[in-house]
Amino acid sequence: MLEAWLSVGYIVLLAIVVLAYVLWRKESHILAIAALAVGVPLWFGWEYARPTWTTGVVTGTEVRRSDPDAQGKTTDDQYIYMRNRADRGLELNNEDSWWWLKRNSERAFNDAKTAQSRNTEMTLMWNGWRSTLFSWYPNLISIGQAGSWPWWSWRTIIFYAGSLALWLGYFYAFIRLRAATASRGDADSSKQS
């Protein structure tokens, strides 16, 4: 349970809150509120897009036809079910994703069906959240053999390199804004003296 709270996402959220707290204590109340107003929504979007992976056994696959829309069109939604090593169930949606440049959803679904029939352990990488209230399922990004994969996936490397630039830029911007407002405040107080 502790490792879930020490994940990268929660550490980044804690850093955002600590930054806002430090800005508040330094009498930069507007900057502290702005750091939260920018940082928390940015974190939610980043956390939604962040890749997650687990290793386990694919226990089922299913194709569900959606209800017809206003034009009478239907779509086939593909679902993959698995049990991870901690014996926790996981339901994933399988659709193409422009964000992850995934255009191989049929191949990924075929790999999942093959893994199910062979009862072999696989590592699945996905993004998104599971919400029973809104009927959201995480989206499968890729599937591969169990092992050291997907840390060396080009998608993961690009995402975390971009994330590093994003979060360093965020913290740098607010620290520089604090320094600029502090130096301006010092200049104003020396003029009044």
Domain membership of residue 189 (yes or no) is: no
The per-residue pLDDT for range 30-47, each reduced to its tens digit, is 999 999 999 999 999 998
Structural domain containing residue 166: 2-49+160-180
Domain membership of residue 39 (yes or no) is: yes
Report pTM.
0.75
**Is the pLDDT at 2 greater than 60, yes or no?**
no
Tell me the C-alpha distance between 77 and 93, whole Å.
Answer: 7
Alpha-carbon separation of residue 122 from 3, 6, 89, 165, 181 (angstroms): 22, 24, 14, 31, 53
Same domain, 68 and 144: yes
Query: Cα 182–185–190 angle (5° rounding)?
Result: 130
Same domain, 134 and 171: no
**Segment 15-35 mean pLDDT:** 92
Domain membership of residue 108 (yes or no) is: yes
Same domain, 41 and 87: no
Domain membership of residue 78 (yes or no) is: yes
In this structure, are residues 154 and 144 in contact, taking their beta carbons and an 8 Å threshold?
no
Same domain, 97 and 45: no
In this structure, are residues 26 and 178 in contact, taking their beta carbons and an 8 Å threshold?
yes
Alpha helices in the chain (DSSP H): 2-5, 8-25, 29-49, 105-118, 154-192
Domain membership of residue 155 (yes or no) is: no
Nearest C-alpha neighbor of 125 from the set 152, 87, 88, 165: 152
Nearest C-alpha neighbor of 61 from the set 109, 13, 127: 109
Q: How many domains are contained in the chain?
A: 2
Same domain, 64 and 110: yes
The per-residue pLDDT for range 119-164, each reduced to its tens digit, is 888 888 888 887 777 778 888 888 888 875 665 677 788 888 999 9
Same domain, 141 and 165: no
Tell me the C-alpha distance between 140 and 90, whole Å.
Answer: 11
Same domain, 68 and 140: yes
